[in-house]
């Protein structure tokens, strides 16, 4: 059976909210009988996504509201 875990990528100061956010990815590791398969990233999230979604404007792809803006790409 596959193993699904949330792994932290990094922490970063969010310029939209003004706090430090933890950016995480959901990684799926294959079952034991498929050892040659690499782990896959299924989704991503931000610890401040709820606060960002309450703002009046779209924020970033980690909060799920603006897929064109990735704060990790700009750093």
Per-residue model confidence as pLDDT tens digits over 12-65: 888 888 899 999 999 998 887 766 788 899 988 889 888 888 888 788 888 888
Q: State how far the Cα of 10 lies from the Cα of 33, in Å rounded to an integer.
A: 31
pLDDT at 11: 92
H helices then E strands: how many in the chain? 1, 3
| Domain boundaries defined on the chain | 1-75
Q: Is the pTM of this model over 0.75?
A: no
Q: Is 59 helix (H, G, I), strand (E, B) or coil?
A: coil
pLDDT at 74: 60
The side-by-side arrangement of strands in the sheet containing 40-46 is 3-13, 20-29, 40-46
Q: How many CA atoms lie within 13 A of 22 on its CB side?
A: 5
């Amino acid at each position: 059976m596959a193993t699904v875990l949330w792994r932290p990528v990094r922490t970063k100061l969010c310029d939209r909210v003004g706090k430090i956010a933890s950016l995480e990815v959901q990684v799926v590791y294959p079952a034991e009988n498929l050892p040659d398969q690499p782990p896959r990233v299924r989704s991503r999230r931000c610890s401040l996504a709820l606060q960002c979604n309450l703002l009046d404007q779209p924020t970033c792809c980690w909060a799920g509201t603006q897929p064109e803006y990735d704060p990790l790409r700009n750093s």
